[in-house]
């Protein structure tokens, strides 16, 4: 050994599983496990402890969870193997907020202090199931949307007023406690004299306790010489101030000039009363997105199954539950494969399939007219394979991390090659593709770490403190004595691991 020149490793760079053992660089290991990286070296990874909710409250057998932030308060929404979703921040955290036995996975999106939850099986939204809304107060979830009025109001001229002479059409809209505006009621007509108000009586009352207001909508004057008697097809507007601020009163008097009718209500004529469940829920330009539908027997967007799978429902801006059945949708190119994910990035909406990526741009018109750009026909994302950044979405970052069959990819409008997982290509390619729907990726951009759940009791840990590129990121798998299923981040960058206790 006197003539041996020692090899000094200045910086240990983690796992290398690519090619044969002889290809492993001197500053990498061919095998390593349960370590985390520090300056130029490594140490045993930190230990774990049980996440504390309330004394005596525990959630065993968790299969999916998300961080829910509302009003500066954060909690965890956790799904167990029996199809129960719990909220750790609920006044009664051990009481489910939603129970659907067939639900083996769910999608989540927080909007305006509320949570929108979509039951699915990891491939598509559950058949004959719906999008649900949770107000965050521990009360049970209810179906998003709501039924509109089904009866006609009675119209008559009242006291002196300014409703312009001619035929006017009137209807009623319910408003729910989440701000959703329902379909418009059956319409009624009145020929105004031009000098009176209009009195409405027998205004419909909703049987649903979550309806809190009713709005009156009306058309501008219609010349009797051109009126056919058909009440459909005329533009309707919200009448300013014409609101019954309860769900009990049945009369209201309205007065307006046609020039006062500015806020269009016609889009409500075709709204979903119940929104079909999807495999993902996301947002774009203030609109709620629901995609990867199986379908609902009474509200299918199409009878073509592959078209339903490739459909993304898009709400009206600022109204997450108002989705038009006619033009509030995007149908991605049909190839027999379902949509898996969606993400807004740099003002563009990206829709993903497992091996496809599409881009859509909001052109200011209805979603059905948004132009399509095909980004990649060989790379896509898995159902939970678009990285969240910290405890929020990935909208305001300079890149996205995407889980694809070929590896972990950096996406900044195009996929960067080589893939971020270049050094562990053989390790990645050995993963079972049937389980990619269960893989979940989280990006802790403060600690500069990536966490990916794997289908073998492991979490793949990546440290990119030396740079987010294929050669400088350091990889190492972590193995546990329980079946890891899901991850999320709370308190900005604290990792929470969900697990099942029924190990074989």
Residue 13 lies in a domain: no
Contacts of 275 (CB under 8 A, 6+ apart): 130, 131, 143, 144, 145, 290, 313, 321, 323
CATH of residue 384's domain is 2.120.10
- Is the same domain home to 247 and 322? no
Give phi and psi for 328, each to the nearest 5: -90, 50
What residues contact residue 417 under an 8 Å CB cut-off, 6+ apart? Answer: none
**pTM value surpassing 0.85:** yes
pLDDT in tens, 348-385: 999 999 999 999 999 999 999 999 999 999 999 999 99
Q: Which residues pair with 489 in a beta bridge?
A: 495
Q: Quick one: how far is CA 381 from the chain centroid?
A: 15
- Same domain as 292, residue 352: yes
What domain count does the chain have?
Answer: 2
Tell which of 364, 390, 420 closes a domain.
Answer: 420
Assess whether 194 and 139 both reside in one domain: no
Does residue 392 register a pLDDT over 60? Answer: no
Please check whether residues 141 and 289 belong to one and the same domain: yes
Q: Is residue 337 part of a domain?
A: yes
Structure confidence at residue 366 (pLDDT)? 94
- pLDDT recorded at residue 307: 87
181 in the same domain as 89: no
Predicted confidence at residue 492, as pLDDT, reads 83
pLDDT number for residue 306:
75
Last residue of a domain, one of 396, 420, 444: 420
Q: Are residues 310 and 371 in the same domain?
A: yes
Whether residue 297 is predicted with pLDDT greater than 50 in this model: the reply is: no
Mean pLDDT value of segment 455-482 = 92
Domain boundary among 420, 437, 470: 420
259 & 365 share domain: no
Whether residue 198 is contained in a domain is answered as yes
Are residue 302 and residue 364 in the same domain, yes or no? yes
If pLDDT is split at 50, 70 and 90, which confidence band does 49 have? confident
Q: What is the DSSP string of 125-138?
A: BPTT-B-EEE-SSS
Q: What is the pLDDT of residues 109-132, one digit of tens each?
A: 999 999 999 999 999 999 999 999
- Burial zone of 290 (CB within 10 Å; 0-12 exposed, 13-18 middle, 19+ buried): buried
Across the range 15-31, mean pLDDT stands at: 91
Q: Say whether both 124 and 227 belong to one domain.
A: no
Whether residue 276 is found in the same domain as residue 402:
yes
| Burial bucket for residue 352 (CB in 10 Å: 0-12, 13-18, 19+) | buried
In tens, the pLDDT along 238-261 reads 999 999 999 999 999 999 999 999
Q: Which residue range(s) make up the domain with 169? A: 154-266
Q: Does one domain contain both 168 and 287?
A: no
Mean pLDDT over 208-218 rounds to 97
How many angstroms separate the Cα of 230 from the Cα of each of 188, 189, 209, 234?
A: 10, 10, 33, 9
């Amino acid at each position: 050994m006197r003539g041996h020149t020692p090899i000094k490793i200045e910086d240990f760079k983690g796992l290398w599983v690519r090619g044969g053992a002889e290809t492993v660089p001197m500053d990498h290991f061919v095998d390593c496990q349960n370590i985390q990286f520090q300056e130029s070296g490594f140490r045993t990874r930190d230990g774990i402890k049980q996440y504390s909710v309330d004394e005596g409250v525990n959630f065993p057998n968790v299969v999916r969870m998300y961080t829910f932030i509302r009003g500066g308060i954060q909690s965890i929404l956790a799904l167990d193997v029996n199809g129960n979703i719990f909220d750790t921040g609920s006044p009664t955290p051990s009481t489910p907020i939603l129970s659907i036995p067939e639900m083996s996975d769910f999608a989540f999106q927080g909007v305006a202090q509320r949570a929108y939850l979509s039951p699915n099986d990891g491939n598509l939204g559950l058949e004959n199931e719906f999008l649900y809304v949770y107000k965050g107060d521990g009360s049970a979830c209810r179906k998003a949307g709501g039924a509109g009025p089904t009866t006609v109001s009675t119209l008559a001229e009242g006291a002196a007023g300014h409703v312009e002479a001619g035929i006017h059409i009137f209807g009623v809209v319910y408003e729910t406690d989440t701000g959703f505006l329902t379909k418009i009621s059956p319409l009624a007509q009145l020929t105004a004299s031009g000098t009176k108000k209009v009195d409405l009586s027998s205004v419909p009352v909703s049987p649903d306790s979550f309806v809190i207001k009713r709005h009156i909508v009306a058309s501008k004057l219609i010349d009797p010489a051109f009126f056919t008697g058909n009440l459909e097809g005329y533009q309707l507007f919200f009448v300013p101030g014409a609101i019954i601020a309860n769900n009990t009163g049945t009369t209201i008097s309205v007065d307006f000039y046609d020039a006062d009718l500015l806020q269009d209500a016609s889009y409500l004529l075709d709204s979903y009363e119940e929104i079909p469940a999807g495999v993902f829920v996301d947002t774009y330009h203030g609109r709620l997105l629901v995609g990867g539908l199986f379908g609902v027997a009474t509200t299918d967007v199409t009878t073509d199954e592959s078209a339903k799978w490739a459909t993304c429902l898009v709400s009206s801006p600022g109204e997450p539950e108002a989705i038009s059945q006619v033009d509030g949708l995007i149908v991605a190119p049909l190839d027999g494969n379902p949509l898996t994910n969606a993400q807004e990035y740099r003002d563009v909406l990206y829709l993903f399939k497992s091996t496809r990526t599409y881009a859509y741009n909001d052109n200011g018109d209805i979603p059905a007219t948004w132009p399509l750009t095909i980004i990649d026909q060989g790379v896509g994302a898995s159902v939970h394979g678009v990285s969240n950044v910290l405890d929020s979405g990935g909208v305001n970052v300079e890149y996205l991390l995407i889980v694809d069959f070929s590896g972990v990819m950096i996406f900044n409008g195009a996929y960067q090659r080589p893939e971020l997982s270049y050094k562990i290509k053989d390790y990645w390619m050995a993963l079972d593709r049937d389980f990619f729907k269960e893989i979940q990726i989280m990006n802790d951009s403060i600690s500069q770490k990536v966490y990916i759940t794997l289908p073998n009791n492991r979490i793949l840990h990546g440290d990119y403190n030396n740079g987010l590129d294929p050669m400088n990121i350091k990889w190492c798998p972590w193995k546990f004595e329980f079946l890891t299923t899901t991850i999320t981040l709370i308190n900005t960058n604290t990792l929470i691991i969900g697990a099942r206790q029924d190990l074989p």
